[in-house]
Amino acid sequence: MFDQLEDLVHKYEDIMNELNGPHASDDQKRFQALMKEQNNLAPIVEAYRDYKKSNQDIEDSLAMLEEENDAEMREMLKEELNDAKGKVAELEEKLKILLLPKDPNDDKNVIVEIRAGAGGDEAALFAAEIYRMYVHYAEGRRWKVELVECEEIGIGGMKSVTFMITGQGAYSVMKYESGVHRVQRVPETESGGRIHTSTISVAVMPEAEDVEIEINEKDIRIDVMRASGNGGQCVNTTDSAVRLTHYPTGIVIYSQTEKSQLQNKEKAFALLRAKLYDIEQQKAHDAEAELRKSQIGTGDRSEKIRTYNFPQGRVTDHRINLTLYKLDKILNGDIQEIIDACIAADQAAKLAKMHY
C-alpha cells in the first residue's frame, strides 16, 4: 500500500509541475485531463502527508519521553503520543478507502427510470411520490433535474417516468437506488382499511457519451408527432414529440417534455445511449458476477431493496438492515442517511476483499 502511495505522490507532483508550467493551457484537452487527475489525487496525497506527519509525531514523542524526567511533562508527552497513534490508525483506514478502485461512472450524470409494478393505480401513485422524492433530493444538492418522458394516470400517478439528473458525482450516490421499492399502506380508494403492498422498479443509468456508445443511423427510425396524454406536468400541446425506435434492441423512446423538436430529439438520443450503455454494463455484470456486482445486495434489478411502511412510519433498506422511523422526511427527499449507510457498507465489503 505504501509503495502505491509513494508512486501517487510522485505522480501528483509531476502533474502540479506541468500545470504550473508556462505552456500548461496550450493544449486545453490535456489541461482539463490533468486538472481532473489532480482533483482525484489531492485527497489521497493530503491524507498520506497527514499520515506521515502523525507517524513523525509518534517518533518525536517517544524520543522525548526517553529523555524527559519531569512527571508533568511525561504525562503531556504520553497524551500527545496517544493522540498521534489514534490519528495514524484513523488515517490508515481513510487511505485504504481512498485507494479502493473507483467506479469509472461515478462522476457521471444519471438517467433514472421509475416504473409502476404490482399494485395498479396504487403503484402508479407511489411511483409519482418516489419521483418527487428524488427531485427534492437533487434540488437539495443543487443538481439539475430534467424530465425526459412520463406516462401519467388521471389521479396524479405515473405508470412510468424517466428523468435526467445533472450534477457532480450524481451516479456515485444515485446508483444505490436501483432495484425494487415496495410500499405498504392503506390506499385512499380502499374503504375496508386493508393494508396493500405495491411495488415500483427504479433503474439508475449513467449518462453515456457519444464516444462510449456509437449509434448507427441505419438502426434508428425517428417519428415526429404531436405530444399527447393527460396534460399536467408532462405534456405540451405542440407538434414536437419525438419517438425513436432502435431496431437491433427493440427499444422505443418517446420524448415530449420540451417545446422544441430538436430538444426532444436530443433527450431521446441521450436516453437511448444510456440504455444501450446500461445493456453493455449488465452483460459485463452477468459475465463476471463476483467481480462486477454491487457489493451490497445482489446488484440485480429485480432485487427488493427497500420497504416504505406507512402505518408504522418506517423505511427499511433490506440490503444493509437499516430501519429509520422518518417516512415523511424521507419522501420529502431526506435520503442522505440511507445513501451514506449504503456507501459505508459497500466500502466495508470491498475492504474485506482487499489484501494490503
Rounded to two decimals, the pTM is 0.68
- Give the CA count within 13 Å in the CB-facing half-sphere of 134: 31
Predicted pLDDT at 287? 55
- Class of 2-98 per CATH? mainly alpha
Predicted pLDDT at 134? 97
CATH code for the part of the protein at 110-347: 3.30.70.1660
User: Do 2-98 and 110-347 come out as alike in CATH topology?
Assistant: no
In the chain, where the domains are located: 2-98, 110-347
**Can you tell me the distance from the alpha carbon of 311 to that of 133, in angstroms, rounded to the nearest whole number?**
19
- Stretches in the chain below the pLDDT threshold 70: 189, 191, 210-212, 227-239, 284-301, 354-356
* 3-class secondary-structure state, position 268: helix
Strand partners, 329: none
User: Over the stretch 171-202, which tens digit does the pLDDT of each residue have?
Assistant: 999 999 999 999 999 887 676 778 889 999 99
Predicted pLDDT at 232? 47
Given a contact cutoff of 8 angstroms between Cβ atoms, the answer to whether 52 and 60 are in contact is no
Predicted pLDDT at 321? 92
Handedness of CA 101, 104, 110, 116 (dihedral sign): negative
